[in-house]
Structure 1
């Protein structure tokens, strides 16, 4: 069984789509998914009325208390998880990871997981310059103007060993299926 650590930050862009994909993949492949939510991630999930849904669908949901609490960094380093997915990732989280700052649960977990060579996948919606439209919790659309600096930080992530940048929520499915195929080909259970 594939063991996934899923980190959620305070990014609302495409959050509902990401949550639905993670639920779909968990149910389709009987994944073991533990959810780690940043402090602002909890706020955003509640704003989008998704926090209760996430808690209902996933057995283990933890909210950040500090950079090491809950102890996700240690679990990544000791091999509890096959992969670490951060989706969606705020521009702030992306910038911190790109510049080696590890002062939150998610950023510290990425840094520590990379030291143990845990495959890490990050979906930062702010990944290309220009105007994007996102849905607000009330169903209205909001135009966002993606900054050059945010895109540059995504490019820095691409250059980091052990991190794969995802450019859409749909790519999460491909990553999970690829890891399941690899596990199956090795005969792992």
Structure 2
């Protein structure tokens, strides 16, 4: 199974997502290509996870533009069985929900949907209220999730070809479902 995995500049639950990526890759011997937004690279480095990604995945690409590296074309031509965007910032979520495709990840989602590539998006800002997340230094940060961000997640839910994931743990279920289909 070939998976394209997009990482945006969201730090919330990033540590868990990276650990799950590595765990699933090793458990199922998955072929995962990692595509990182410009801000995703910044946040991965801030969390000291960029090198961990590079060490655990053979094909790691950082955004140069909305079509570079050429992930949208690879999605359209069937190179990948699945596209996962985790974690997705509130900004990325809003852009996708409103049809804006001006970054590597948002353009890739739009083009992948046109080719009917199953797309799963994990936006941590998916429930109104207060959440706690870990900072790179191990301290806890309280975040207040806005109603607007939750409304954008609801718009994603209504889009054909996109499935919303509500926790990093749900990523395991998605992958296991696809692995079992292939067997």
Matches within 5 A, 1:96-135: 96-135=95-134
Does the residue aligned with 2:132 lie in a helix, a strand or coil? strand
For residues 16-68 of structure 1, give each alpha carbon's deviation from its aligned partner in whole angstroms, at most 9, with x where no partner exists: 10000000000000000000000000000000000000000000000000000
Q: State the alpha-carbon separation in 2 of the partners of residues 64 and 96 from structure 1.
A: 17
Q: State the alpha-carbon separation in 2 of the partners of residues 97 and 133 from structure 1.
A: 25
Q: Name segments (4+ residues, structure 1) moved above 2 Å.
A: none
**TM-score (normalizing by structure 1):** 0.96
Does the residue aligned with 2:141 lie in a helix, a strand or coil? strand
Which runs of 5 or more structure 2 residues have no equivalent in the other structure? none
Shift of 1:182: 1.2
Which runs of 5 or more structure 1 residues have no equivalent in the other structure? 185-189
Shift of 1:183: 1.5
Does the residue aligned with 2:166 lie in a helix, a strand or coil? coil
Corresponding residue of 1:187: none
Q: State the alpha-carbon separation in 2 of the partners of residues 108 and 92 from structure 1.
A: 14
Corresponding residue of 1:78: 77
Corresponding residue of 1:69: 68
Q: State the alpha-carbon separation in 1 of the partners of residues 181 and 95 from structure 2.
A: 31
For residues 85-133 of structure 1, give each alpha carbon's deviation from its aligned partner in whole angstroms, at most 9, with x where no partner exists: 0000000000000000000000000000000000000000000000000
Shift of 1:181: 1.0
Corresponding residue of 1:89: 88
Corresponding residue of 1:163: 162
**TM-score (normalizing by structure 2):** 1.00
What do you get for the CA RMSD once the two structures are aligned?
A: 0.3
Q: State the alpha-carbon separation in 2 of the partners of residues 156 and 183 from structure 1.
A: 30
Corresponding residue of 2:33: 34
Does 2:176 match 1:182? no
Corresponding residue of 1:147: 146
Q: How many residues align?
A: 183
Q: State the alpha-carbon separation in 2 of the partners of residues 180 and 174 from structure 1.
A: 10
Q: State the alpha-carbon separation in 2 of the partners of residues 163 and 173 from structure 1.
A: 17
